[in-house]
Amino acid sequence: MLFNNSSFIVLEKQLDASALRQQVIANNIANANTPGFKKSEVSFNDQLRAALDTKRIHLQANSPRHITARHPLHNIAPLVKTTEDTIMTYGQNNVDTEQEMVNLAANTILYNAASRMLGGKFTTMGHIIRGGK
């Protein structure tokens, strides 16, 4: 229960998705001059929004003998998709370096924010365990 609440899971999944997105952006930048290369993007927000949708009913357990379903947040995973239908430069390449740089900066900030929030949660928990001392 201690580490199983939704904000821990969300932050952990966000860190995983941002690390994957960093990898995909690095790959796009490395191939910015490769003829015929098509860029990829990571989508995560839609899956997260769907999993956080409170209108859906989840199995709740208030006794250890109840059957529990895994938290729906455990099942979300970032999705990598390749954009095939655009052309940016000669040689059919569609990497827009400026856009990749902006995505890279945004992704780094997002990762830092998530890791700082996770760190803050652990610090708070440490305070609670020590009884506020």
Partner 1 sequence: MALFESFSISSSGMTANRLWLDTISNNIANMNSTGRPGDPAQQPYRRQTPVFSAAVQQYLLNKNPGRGGPKTAGVKVTGILHDGAPPQLVHDPSHPHADPETGYVAYPNINVLNEMVNMLTATRAYEANVTALNSAKEMALAALEIGR
Q: How far is the CB of 35 from partner 1 (least distance, A)?
A: 7
Please pick, from the candidates 9, 16, 71, 99, the single residue that binds partner 1 as defined by CB under 8 A: 16
Q: How far is the CB of 70 from partner 1 (least distance, A)?
A: 20
Please pick, from the candidates 69, 101, 128, 129, the single residue that binds partner 1 as defined by CB under 8 A: 101
Q: How far is the CB of 32 from partner 1 (least distance, A)?
A: 6
For residue 110, is it left (φ>0), alpha (ψ between -120 and 50) or beta? alpha
Residue 113: what residue type?
Answer: A
Please tell me what DSSP assigns to residue 80: E
Q: How far is CA 62 from CA 26, 29, 51, 80, in A?
A: 46, 50, 21, 37
Question: In 10 A of CB 94, how many CB atoms?
Answer: 17
Nearer to partner 1 by C-beta: 6 or 43?
43
Question: In 10 A of CB 103, how many CB atoms?
Answer: 19
Q: Does 116 bind partner 1 (CB under 8 A)?
A: yes
Distance from C-alpha of 16 to C-alpha of 48, rounded to nearest angstrom: 13
- Footprint of partner 1 on residues 25-84 (CB under 8 A)? 25-27, 29-35, 37, 40, 79-82
Question: Contact residues for partner 1 (CB under 8 A)?
Answer: 15-16, 18-20, 22-27, 29-35, 37, 40, 79-82, 97, 100-101, 104-105, 107-108, 111-112, 115-116, 118-119, 122
